[in-house]
Amino acid sequence: MRVRGHRSRIYLAFVAIVAMAAVFAAACGGDDDDGGSTAGFSDAGYKTAGLDKARVVTIDSGAAIKIGISSALSGDVKGLGVPIADSAEVAGDGVTIKGFKIEWVREDDLCTPEGGPAAADRLIKAKIVAAVGPICSGGTRASLAAFDKEGITHISPSATSGDLTSPTRAEGPYVTFFRVPVLNADEAAAQAKFIRETLKLKKAFVVNDTDDYGKDLAASFQTSFKAQGGEIVGTPEGYEKKTTDFKAIITKIKAAKPDVVYLAGFYAEATPFLQQLRADPDTKALVFMGGDGVKNDELLTGAKDAAEGAYLALPGGQGSQFAAYKSKYAAKYKGDAETVTFGAEAYDAATAILKALEKVAVEKSGKLEIDLKKLNEEIKKSNFEGASGVIKFESNGNRAGAIVRFFQVKGGKYVELPAK
C-alpha cells in the first residue's frame, strides 16, 4: 500500500508537469505565414471577377451611391474598428459624384474569419459599388472570394498579412483587392537597406518573438538583408512573450560576432534584452535595430541608458492630406486623429474609391452608370498624396513605395533620422 501511495503521488506530479508544459507549448505555438510570391494580377483573375468586360451598375436619379465599410463594430477589436470606419467616412464629407450623394453602408466584420464573409454578403446585398475593408487579415482572407465574385473592388486599410495578395490559386491575386498599410516585409526591407546603406554594416544576428508577427518580420528581414549583400551570422534565436532571461541568447550573439543585432518583437521583451545586452562588456556597444513593436515610450522609461543609441523603424508616414483628415475627424467625432491606428490609411482607402468614382461615373438621362470594371481600373491607377503619404498600388494590389521612418534613441528620446 505504502509503495503504491508513493508512486501515485509521483505520477500525479508528473501529470501536473506534463499538463503545465502542454499549456506552455500551446501558448507559444502558431503557424507560419507564407510570404508568397509577388505575381501580379492575371487575365484569368479578371475573368473570375467578371471584370474582363464591362459590368455596369445603374443608380436611379435621386438615389445615393453606396460604398461599403467592413470593420469591427462590436467585440474585442471595436476600439480599433470604429475609429477606422469613422476615418473612412469623413473622407466623403461634402463629396458628391456628378450630383449624386454618397451613402456609407457599415457592416460589422468582427475582425474574424467568420464575420468577414457575412459582412461582405450583407454589403453586396445592399448594392454597394466598392468597399473599405475588411480591417483584419483573417476576415479579409475569408472574404476575398465573396467580393471578387461580384466584381466589387475593396481596399483594406489595415490587413497586413503577407499572403493576402498572393493567395494559393492558379489565377493569382484577387484583382478586386487592394490595401494601404505598410507590410511587415516592407518594414523589414527598409530596415535591411538602412543597415546596409546608412549604417554600412554587413553582419546581422537575428532575435525574434516566436509569435506570427515576430516570425514574419524576422523571416522577411533575413531575406531582404541577404538580398542586399548582408550576412546573417549565427542561428536566429527565438524567445516567447514575457521572457526575461536573454543571457543564453547573448552568449550566442557574442560567439557570432555580428555588426548589428536585429530584434523582431515587442518593447516588453526588448527592454530586458537591451539591459542584459548592455550589461555585458562584449556587447555593450553593439548596434541594435528594432521595429514598430519595439518603438514605444515604455522602452525609454524601462531600459533607460540601455536604450541609448538603439535604432528603431516605424512604418507609415503622414502625407499632406493628414491635416485635412485630422480637422474633419475632430469636427465630426470629437477625437484626435493622431491616436487612431490605421485612421489615415482608412481615409486614404475611402479617398481612392471616391476619386475613381468621380472619373468613371457617367450620367445618362438622369441616372448614374458606374462600370465596375472601369472603377477597378481607376483604383488600380491611383496616384495621389493622401493622409498617409502617396497612394499608389503595385501590380498585386499592395501599396507601392511604402514609407518607413527611422529613429534613434538619443538622450532618452526618440530622434527621427533624416530620410535618405
Partner 1 sequence: MTPLFLASTEVWLDQLVNGLTTGSIYALIALGYTMVYGVLQLINFAHGEVFMLGSFAGYGTLVALGGNDLSGGMVAVALILAFLAAGGASLGTAVAVERVAYRPLRNAPRLAPLISAIGVSVLLSHLVDDGFLNGGAKFYPQIFPDGDIELGPLQVTYLQLFLMGSSLAMMGVLYWIVQQTKTGRAIRAVAESRDNAALMGVNVNRTIVVTFALGAVLAGFAGVLYGLFFSSIRGSMGFLPGVKAFTAAVLGGIGSIPGAVVGGYFLGLTETVGRELLNEIPGVNLPNQWKDVIAFALLVLVLIFRPTGIFGQKESKRA
Chain contacts with partner 1 (rule: CB under 8 A): 2-3, 6-7, 9-14, 16-18, 20-21, 24-25, 28, 210, 235-240, 242, 244-245, 247-249, 251-252, 254-255, 268-269, 271-272, 275-276, 279-282, 298, 301-306
Burial class (CB in 10 A: 0-12, 13-18, 19+), 390: middle
Q: 223 vs 275, which CB is nearer to partner 1?
A: 275
Least distance (Å) from partner 1 to the CB of residue 8? 9
Find the angle CA(186)-CA(187)-CA(193) to the nearest 5 degrees: 90
Least distance (Å) from partner 1 to the CB of residue 219? 13
Least distance (Å) from partner 1 to the CB of residue 338? 22
Least distance (Å) from partner 1 to the CB of residue 173? 33
- In DSSP terms, 315 is beta-bridged to 404
* Residue 399 DSSP code: B
Residue 223, φ and ψ in degrees, nearest 5: -60, -50
Least distance (Å) from partner 1 to the CB of residue 263? 13
Q: 249 vs 264, which CB is nearer to partner 1?
A: 249
* Ramachandran area for residue 75 (φ above 0: left; ψ -120 to 50: alpha; else beta): left
Q: 62 vs 281, which CB is nearer to partner 1?
A: 281
Distance CA 54, CA 230 (A): 48
Least distance (Å) from partner 1 to the CB of residue 282? 8
Q: 304 vs 405, which CB is nearer to partner 1?
A: 304
Q: 255 vs 362, which CB is nearer to partner 1?
A: 255
As a 3-state breakdown, the chain gives helix, strand, coil percent values, each rounded to 5, of 45, 20, 35
Q: 280 vs 377, which CB is nearer to partner 1?
A: 280
What are the contacts of 37-40 at 24+ separation with CB within 8 A?
Answer: 37/166, 38/166, 38/396, 39/166, 39/172, 39/173, 39/396, 40/172, 40/173, 40/394, 40/395, 40/396
